[in-house]
Structure 1
Amino acid sequence: MIISSLKTNSITNPLGFYLKYISFSWITEQGTSTSTKQVAAKVEVSKTIDFRKLIFDSGKSDEISSLAYTPDFVPEPRTRYFWRVTVWGDKGEEVVSDVAWFETGKMDEPWRGNWITPNIEKECHPIIRKSFELSKEVTSARIYISGVGLYHFEINGTRVGKELFTPGYNAYEFWMQYQTYDITNLLTNGSNAIGVSLGNGWYKGRFGFDGGYHELYGEKFALIAEMIITYADGSSMVIGTDESWKSYISPIEFSGIYDGEIYNANKEIENWSQPYFNDDNWYDVSITEINTEKLQERLSLPVLIKEERKPIDIIHTPAGETVLDFGQNMTGWVRLNVKIPKGEKIILQYGEILQDNCFYRENLRTAKAEYAFISDGTEREIQPHFTFFGFRYVKLIGFSNEIKIGDFTACVIYSDLQETGTIETSNNDVNQLFQNALWGQKGNFLDVPTDCPQRDERMGWTGDAQIFASTACYNMTSSAFYQKFMYDLREEQIRIGGSVPFIVPTIKPENDPGFVTGHGSSAWGDAATIIPWTLYLHYGDKQLLIEQFPIMKDWVDYIRKIDDKSGSKRLWKEGFHFGDWLALDGKDPQGMMGGTDPYYIATAYYYYSTRLVAKVANIIEETELSDEYHALADEIKAAINREYFTQNGRSAINTQTALIVALSMDLVAENKRLRIVEDLKMKLLEDGLHLNTGFVGTPYLCDVLSKNGLNDFAYTLLLNDDFPSWLYAVKMGATTIWERWNSVLPDGSISGTGMNSLNHYAYGSIIEWMYRHMCGINPTEDAPGFKKIRFEPKPNGQLKYAKATLQSASGFIESGWEIKSSNSMTFRFRVPFNTSAEVLLPYANRKIIMLDGKKLIDCSIYSKQEGDNVICELTPGYYVFEYISTREYTLLLTTSSSIKDFLGTNETRDILYQVFPNLTDNPFVLQHIEKPLYELAQVPIVSMFVTEDKLEELKKRLELTAIVK
């Protein structure tokens, strides 16, 4: 057995993070062990790495879960704790983990440093410094530091850490984060110095909706820091920010999240953060009034340069521009080597797309998105400090020397998340779609789950965050990231009566009560219930669910108060709602509001969130609350059926989204579901088997189809590559997910500039369907965190194979399938240590299934026939199933030259119906009967009935007819 991935509160060795409660987790892998299950475990916590000073020992226990274990002790401030776990396997083996640690911050200790602000013009970016002496050997040194807007700092001329954009972006009015750094190895006996540089960031730079606002949270640059240094003799000293610190004007002449940065190397001050620097002519600082009680330990994960990429081409455009193409839309900036004459300026402008083969950035709206560097004549490596860009293309201005592609490197930045999931299929376009969604997550998971990383917005829209949450958790380790977001959401929520803002953190421009400060929309506000539930399913931390339950409950209570004030009708018919945002079925297909009644959507989410609250209350053993909210949910469902459905189950709103929501959220009685399924089927056929859904309908669309016997429809929607579809963007060269289905038109022109991001991850939620249904990896509610896995892959002949891997909270999972012929199937599954799995093999006969080369009925695993499917229960291990399916998997119809000879003839249509009699009564096919055969074959409902054998029969009959004729 091997124990790995030891984490505290979902973070590896966290230093100075906020720890309201402590949760340890780890993964045990089987390795070469014969054990497959954990029968007991022990957790030990010590103040020393050798564990001679134990402060907690759980003892050997069979109740300890690797997903989340909370030790029973109260940590002290500014203390490092070491912990390890011992696991016993079911075959008697025992293994001890490596040592992990976590270190607390100041906790409730008062600050001995003060907030200070430089005595320079407030528009000028400052650098701030302090020299100090250390007279004895240092054994430990920590700095607790924060700044507004953004800061980075140096000790004795060395940049501390690799983090970017500290202290992060959060609801500054209510709480502020500070970071903790171990600076022991940077200090020397004798003279030392610290230097801090400040930038505008979100706090005081231009930021917000509709062009943004200046100084949203404050008008002054400010810094607070406290160094606590421990000597070898046990004594200590504290150096805090006060009026003895000095300030000067930074070489950063401007910085902004939207507009970029201007850096003047001629204003650099050599050795300014070294201890021997003379700062006598520097400006003083003043203590400023920022409440230190709002300061608390960090929750934000570090934002880092996670990847680097080289340009793939240098483009010389028809407009005479020089443009670098990096081949991938991403978030970050370009680092480059320069040697240009003193005083010359170069500019790098950032954009997502070319237009007419020229550089373009009109869709960034008012964001300038450029980095300017003014040279001092020296050769150097340059990059921005306090800004970032969303880009694929970079326009170079002012470069007089030859451009060398090797001098440029794109730095890809996002929060410190590790990739956990992979998907691969036989279709390269589908594979690219997966990569596009993953890159959308990378580009928008920058401390806050933003809507876009490039234009003058980049805000934490709650609707986007909840829509993508499950896909995010499959793709990357997202628990700690979302926990910070939910903390911000809670701080906002408790001040607006349980409602949830459209945007978290909320943009609050002074004296502007308008749209940007709005709250209380369905689907957006339901982030309060959906995200905690999603985190629980994926990571299985019950304590986290307990912590976030008040967020869930208060949101539903907010809706119920509105409902009660309007007569307790159990319908939500008040206020503004985004509805099925950006759906294509509205009065204006190019508009923003979809065609589904927003109050229907609001009430559906009212019901769905109430059910989640009831479910969670039961899990955390709040039985009375569970009963209360179950009863409320029943009332809402009854009201929905009275208002929106006939007695026979017909939906009063005949849109794709209305029908999808009814099925996904279980709005109708079981005996009426088939009616809704059939209506959805016919609605899709009427729409040419193309989606027209928006932000509400799209995430549930394929999931609903695959769960309700329309898996072929789901695959057809996935594989459509004309507008509107996921693969349309892929075919148009997209490398991320677009905001609109037609962000770029077929001729390559952008469809509009008002609201048109080319890196907007919401529609990437299709990836959850690919994990759950195409590849079949599902968590279960009764054993979350993938302690029990439900493998339920749903193959389709339009792909030859599909496979996924997941480094889950419980270990490494694999699931995949391959179609060997039209009905010969192979399935592969990997079940991790200390988990179990239920497998549903579709269209299978238990008697002919082979497992690892043996007949399934002769193997020891439990299996049973259940209709057309076979159910197996698996213990940890790797499994290969092979069998001849009881159905033929569909293949796309291809046309040979002999078929083309008869396009549109009566003989061809007659033969088509002889070979495919199940098409003769299909009204949708009959509408297209006059089409040439090759066009008819592209109609998805036709292709769904085409198998390899039928295709051969069709070809032979057509060839025979040609000969006779």
Structure 2
Amino acid sequence: MNIYNLKTNHLLNPIGFLIDTLTLSWIVEASFGEKLQGTRVVIGLDENYEKVIHDSGSRTDLDPLSYQPGILLQPRTRYFWKVVAKNAAGEEQASETQYFETAKEEEAWTGNWIEPVRQFERMPLMRKLFRLPTKPIRKARIYATGLGVYELYLNGEKIGDEYLAPGFHSYDFWQQYQTYDVTEILQTGGNAIGFMLGDGWFKGRFGFDGGYENLYGDQFRLIAECVVSYEDGTEEIIATDAAWEAAEGPLVASSIYDGEIYDANLEIKDWNKYSEAATDARWEPVQLSAADTEKLQARLSVPIKIVDAFVPELILTPAGEQVLDFKQNMTGWITFTADVPKGSVITYEVGEVLQEGNFYRENLRTAEAKFTYISNGKPAEVRPYFTFYGFRYAKITGIDLLEQDLGFKGYVLQSELEETSGIITANPDVNQLLKNALWGQKGNFLDVPTDCPQRDERMGWTGDAQIFARTASYHMYTPAFYKKFMHDLRLEQKALDGAVPFVVPQIKPEGDAGFVTGAGAAAWSDAATVIPWVLYEQYGDRSLLQEQYPTMKDWVEYIRREDEKSGAKRLWTTGFQFGDWLALDGANPHSPMGGTDTSLVASVYYYHSASLVARAAEVLGHTQDALVYTNLAAEVKQAIQNEYLTVMGRLAVTTQTAYILFHYFDLCPEQFKERMTKDFYDKVISSGIHLQTGFVGTPYFAEALSRNGMNELAYGLLLNEDYPSWLFAVKMGATTIWERWNSILPDGKISGTDMNSLNHYAYGSIVEWVYRCVLGIQADSAHPGYRHFILAPQPSAQLGKAEGYYQSVSGRIESAWEIMSDGQLFFSFRVPFGTTATITLPDLSLEKARKMEWLQEAIPTEVGVSVTVKAGDYSVSYMPTRNYRPEVTTKLTYRELLEYTPARKVIFEQLPMMRNNEIALQYLDMPFEAFKELPIVSNFVSDETLERLDATFSGGIPIIDKISLQS
């Protein structure tokens, strides 16, 4: 047996985190046939468990996904714990010991907030020199936070490997402090604690379009306590007070958006080391701040760390620039080694794309995104401190890189999250797309799930976070990351009477009532319900759902009040709505608003969120709430059908997104299901199987197709290579996901600069479909955390082969399939120890299935057969009942497409000049040759027009099976 992945509140060995509810989790791995007789959790105050404070005893009912020992935790205490499992033979196996350590809890602060007496022109240094007695130290901790952002030094060493602490959170409601173990660095005799501070998010320039200053404060602040515990049982505290000192440091300027200027000539030598020498005149007294300590709270933010590094290639551009290409659009910073004459100025500025081979950065808008280093003539390792950049390219000035190599490196900064999955397919472009989606997450999960990391924005848009939550939770182990985000969301929501801001933390510039301060919009604010439910399904931790249930409920009650204001129609028709943001089917091509009725989008999310609250209430045992919200969801569903469906089952809103929402959220009445699915099919075909969707429709598009018998269209959607499609960006060289389908045009020109990020992860949500439908790995909400799960891959000859894994909280799940050269289907699965799975195999007859050993209990389904299995490795190959190997992928010309009457109808019904032209519409069923001669439509279907359209789409529209269209 192997017991691994021991986590405390979903963190590995956390120190100083907020532990409101103590939850322990682990994974047991054993031979598939082995059975556990019991599991035991032991918690002690020492590694040898001589002081045990909790022993669960060997039990069969311990929940390995969220065991809550219910012990009373003491402040500033380290607890050690292990899991012991016993097999059927009575043999025991213990895990490695892990630990967690509490913060100050409810203890009052000895330290005071301190600040410089005057407004410094440069970023400040603060320090305290002190001496300790010559007696053995048992342990030492520093509890501290600095505003805006800070780094901690002790005796000349940077403490810890995290950056940009204390992170980005709702500073007006709470302020996180961090805990540092400094036992090994503190020494008897002289010591020096030093802090370096910068603006960050708390102060300085930040907010939408970069247009705001000092959102939370205009003064640097620091609070710290160094608590030294001696072996003799005594304790000493060195805390921030008026005896500390401050000086202006060498960091001349620092800004999240604009970067930094570092002048090494202004360095104070050994500023963070103890010295008996007379005080340098550059050090000034500090003053106590008027700020209180009531908002201080132990951290929730996962630390921001360096997670990867890249060595660039040097490019000399046509404009004569020195540009470094790091080959990957990423978030972080660039370092180099400077050994240059005194006064030398070395600068880099960053960008995401080249234009005509030259450096370009205009899509960063007002963000300068620069770094400037001024040398003091001494060798130095140079890096930024309190900023980060989104970039692939960097233009270097001030040094000739052909003559001197400064060892430039690009370092990736990201909240420290474990990657938990991997997929490879037979299509290299799809593999690159999957990589791009992962890098979109890596670039934007920097303390908050930001929209983009490069321009003058970088904020926690709730819409992006909601859309991407399940993809994110396949990619990485996210519960601790989202717990902090949802904590901020809840604090913001409480101040808004149930509404949820468009961005979290909310940007609240004084006196500004503009767009970015808004709250309460569908798909964005529904992060309040969607994220908690995704976390519950993926990780099975009921305590997270319990904690976030009030947030979920308050959000739906907010929508209900909006509904009541407008007549209690059980539709959401009030307030500003984003709608299907950035969709391509809007009436105004220059507007980001899509063509789908925003009240339809809002009402569908009303239904969705009410349904999620009902399900959460049922899980948590809130029986009355479950009934209330089930009924509310049913009323909203009926109202949507009444408002948006004709009596014959025709959708009143005929956009792709409208069809997607009705099919994905099961809003199609049974009697109209066939007709509505046919209309959906025709709609997709009429677009040449191209996306017209935005932020709302795109995440659900492929799965809505695969769920409703149109799996080949879903693959066609994935595999299109021309605009608009996912692979268009891949073919254009993208290494992350773009904000717009045409962020870069086919000629390589950027399509615009006002809102055009090349690292914007939202459309990477297609990866959710890849896991759920291509590999078929799906959570079962009745057994969350993959105790039991679904394996239902839907293969296609368009892709040919796919294999991957997901490291769930219950163990490693594997799924693979291949369409063999002889037409057989091959499947392979791994179901981890201690779990069960229901496997669905498509186009396999029950007769054939029951001849195979592990499929003897199979039952028939609409698509093939399914069987529930215990842990184990399973594989099967068989000749399917339908052909998975079409001879060729047909490319239809526009003429052939318009010859298909349903496609012609959908196309012409979308044309503004035709939509209300009853004379034209009555001729849509005519044979094409006669139809195209009608004067009223001839301009639309002339030979010249059709040839131009074919040229635009590279010679035709890819359709997997032409026969299926004609049928």
Say yes or no: TM over 0.5: yes
Match of residue 301 from structure 1: 302
In 1, distance between residues paired with 2:731 and 2:91? Answer: 53
1:152/1:166 contact within 8 Å kept: yes
In 1, distance between residues paired with 2:484 and 2:927? Answer: 52
In 1, distance between residues paired with 2:339 and 2:252? Answer: 20
2:889/2:961 contact within 8 Å kept: no
Residues 501-900 of structure 1: matches in 2 within 5 Å? 501-821=501-821, 823-848=823-848, 856-859=851-854, 862-891=857-886, 893=888
Match of residue 952 from structure 1: none
Match of residue 79 from structure 1: 77
Deviations 1:509-545 (A, max 9, x none): 1111111110000100000000000000100001110
Whether 2:62 is the aligned partner of 1:64: answer: yes
In 2, distance between residues paired with 1:936 and 1:280? Answer: 71
Following TM superposition, by how much is the alpha carbon of 1:85 offset from its aligned partner in structure 2, in angstroms? 1.2
Whether 2:189 is the aligned partner of 1:194: answer: no
Match of residue 487 from structure 2: 487
1:4/1:28 contact within 8 Å kept: yes
Bigger Cα displacement from structure 2, 173-182 vs 507-516: 507-516
For the structure 1 residues 937 and 262, does the alpha-carbon distance in structure 2 shift closer, same or farther, using more than 3 Å as the test?
closer
Q: How many residues align?
A: 921
Bigger Cα displacement from structure 2, 726-735 vs 931-940: 931-940
In 1, distance between residues paired with 2:370 and 2:556? Answer: 44
In 1, distance between residues paired with 2:712 and 2:92? Answer: 48
2:333/2:383 contact within 8 Å kept: yes
Match of residue 342 from structure 1: 342
Bigger Cα displacement from structure 2, 141-150 vs 280-289: 280-289
Following TM superposition, by how much is the alpha carbon of 1:569 offset from its aligned partner in structure 2, in angstroms? 1.3
Which residue of the other structure, out of 68, 91, 95, is the alignment partner of 1:97? 95
- SS of equivalent to 2:238: strand
Bigger Cα displacement from structure 2, 361-370 vs 66-75: 66-75
Residues 157-306 of structure 1: matches in 2 within 5 Å? 157-276=156-275, 278-279=278-279, 281=281, 282-306=283-307
For the structure 1 residues 689 and 50, does the alpha-carbon distance in structure 2 shift closer, same or farther, using more than 3 Å as the test?
same
- SS of equivalent to 1:799: coil
Residues 369-388 of structure 1: matches in 2 within 5 Å? 369-388=369-388
Letter matched to residue 738 of structure 2: W
For the structure 1 residues 662 and 39, does the alpha-carbon distance in structure 2 shift closer, same or farther, using more than 3 Å as the test?
farther
Deviations 1:755-812 (A, max 9, x none): 0000000000000000110111111011111111200000000112011111111111
For the structure 1 residues 905 and 859, does the alpha-carbon distance in structure 2 shift closer, same or farther, using more than 3 Å as the test?
closer
Letter matched to residue 489 of structure 1: L
In the alignment, structure 2 segments of 5+ residues that lack a partner are 900-924, 933-940
2:815/2:829 contact within 8 Å kept: yes
For the structure 1 residues 905 and 188, does the alpha-carbon distance in structure 2 shift closer, same or farther, using more than 3 Å as the test?
closer
Bigger Cα displacement from structure 2, 38-47 vs 478-487: 38-47
Following TM superposition, by how much is the alpha carbon of 1:845 offset from its aligned partner in structure 2, in angstroms? 2.3
Match of residue 147 from structure 2: 148
Bigger Cα displacement from structure 2, 208-217 vs 349-358: 208-217
Following TM superposition, by how much is the alpha carbon of 1:499 offset from its aligned partner in structure 2, in angstroms? 0.5
In 1, distance between residues paired with 2:303 and 2:725? Answer: 35
Q: Percent identity?
A: 50
Following TM superposition, by how much is the alpha carbon of 1:646 offset from its aligned partner in structure 2, in angstroms? 1.4
Following TM superposition, by how much is the alpha carbon of 1:19 offset from its aligned partner in structure 2, in angstroms? 0.5
- SS of equivalent to 1:228: strand
In 1, distance between residues paired with 2:202 and 2:416? Answer: 22
For the structure 1 residues 858 and 459, does the alpha-carbon distance in structure 2 shift closer, same or farther, using more than 3 Å as the test?
closer
Bigger Cα displacement from structure 2, 313-322 vs 545-554: 313-322
Following TM superposition, by how much is the alpha carbon of 1:124 offset from its aligned partner in structure 2, in angstroms? 2.2
Deviations 1:125-159 (A, max 9, x none): 11011011110221100010000000001111011
Letter matched to residue 385 of structure 2: H
Whether 2:112 is the aligned partner of 1:119: answer: no
Deviations 1:477-513 (A, max 9, x none): 1111011000000000001001000000001111111
In 2, distance between residues paired with 1:208 and 1:111? Answer: 32
Following TM superposition, by how much is the alpha carbon of 1:385 offset from its aligned partner in structure 2, in angstroms? 0.5
Following TM superposition, by how much is the alpha carbon of 1:291 offset from its aligned partner in structure 2, in angstroms? 2.4
In 2, distance between residues paired with 1:207 and 1:936? Answer: 44
1:310/1:406 contact within 8 Å kept: no
For the structure 1 residues 923 and 448, does the alpha-carbon distance in structure 2 shift closer, same or farther, using more than 3 Å as the test?
farther
Letter matched to residue 104 of structure 1: T
Following TM superposition, by how much is the alpha carbon of 1:638 offset from its aligned partner in structure 2, in angstroms? 1.5
Match of residue 957 from structure 2: 939
Deviations 1:690-745 (A, max 9, x none): 11000000000001000000000000000000000000000000000000000000
- SS of equivalent to 1:434: helix
Match of residue 958 from structure 1: none
Match of residue 104 from structure 2: 106
In 2, distance between residues paired with 1:67 and 1:460? Answer: 28
Following TM superposition, by how much is the alpha carbon of 1:672 offset from its aligned partner in structure 2, in angstroms? 2.3
Deviations 1:266-308 (A, max 9, x none): 0111111111154352100001122211000000001001001
For the structure 1 residues 403 and 496, does the alpha-carbon distance in structure 2 shift closer, same or farther, using more than 3 Å as the test?
farther
1:845/1:869 contact within 8 Å kept: yes
| TM-score, normalised by the number of residues in structure 1 | 0.92
Bigger Cα displacement from structure 2, 96-105 vs 454-463: 96-105
Following TM superposition, by how much is the alpha carbon of 1:600 offset from its aligned partner in structure 2, in angstroms? 0.9
For the structure 1 residues 403 and 892, does the alpha-carbon distance in structure 2 shift closer, same or farther, using more than 3 Å as the test?
farther
In 2, distance between residues paired with 1:103 and 1:721? Answer: 51
1:890/1:944 contact within 8 Å kept: no
Letter matched to residue 799 of structure 1: L
Match of residue 41 from structure 1: 39
Deviations 1:647-705 (A, max 9, x none): 22211101000111111122232222222211111111111111100000000000100
Following TM superposition, by how much is the alpha carbon of 1:402 offset from its aligned partner in structure 2, in angstroms? 3.2
2:855/2:867 contact within 8 Å kept: no
Following TM superposition, by how much is the alpha carbon of 1:641 offset from its aligned partner in structure 2, in angstroms? 1.5
For the structure 1 residues 894 and 144, does the alpha-carbon distance in structure 2 shift closer, same or farther, using more than 3 Å as the test?
closer
2:889/2:959 contact within 8 Å kept: no
Following TM superposition, by how much is the alpha carbon of 1:821 offset from its aligned partner in structure 2, in angstroms? 2.4
Following TM superposition, by how much is the alpha carbon of 1:588 offset from its aligned partner in structure 2, in angstroms? 2.2
In 2, distance between residues paired with 1:76 and 1:905? Answer: 76
RMSD: 2.4
Following TM superposition, by how much is the alpha carbon of 1:123 offset from its aligned partner in structure 2, in angstroms? 3.3
For the structure 1 residues 689 and 280, does the alpha-carbon distance in structure 2 shift closer, same or farther, using more than 3 Å as the test?
closer
Match of residue 397 from structure 1: 397
- SS of equivalent to 2:805: strand
For the structure 1 residues 673 and 5, does the alpha-carbon distance in structure 2 shift closer, same or farther, using more than 3 Å as the test?
same
Following TM superposition, by how much is the alpha carbon of 1:92 offset from its aligned partner in structure 2, in angstroms? 4.7
In 2, distance between residues paired with 1:754 and 1:811? Answer: 45
1:36/1:876 contact within 8 Å kept: no
For the structure 1 residues 936 and 924, does the alpha-carbon distance in structure 2 shift closer, same or farther, using more than 3 Å as the test?
farther
1:651/1:676 contact within 8 Å kept: yes
In 2, distance between residues paired with 1:493 and 1:459? Answer: 17
- SS of equivalent to 1:371: strand
For the structure 1 residues 856 and 224, does the alpha-carbon distance in structure 2 shift closer, same or farther, using more than 3 Å as the test?
farther
In 1, distance between residues paired with 2:767 and 2:498? Answer: 31
1:336/1:383 contact within 8 Å kept: yes
- SS of equivalent to 1:332: strand
For the structure 1 residues 944 and 830, does the alpha-carbon distance in structure 2 shift closer, same or farther, using more than 3 Å as the test?
farther
- SS of equivalent to 1:192: strand
- SS of equivalent to 2:6: strand
Whether 2:24 is the aligned partner of 1:24: answer: yes
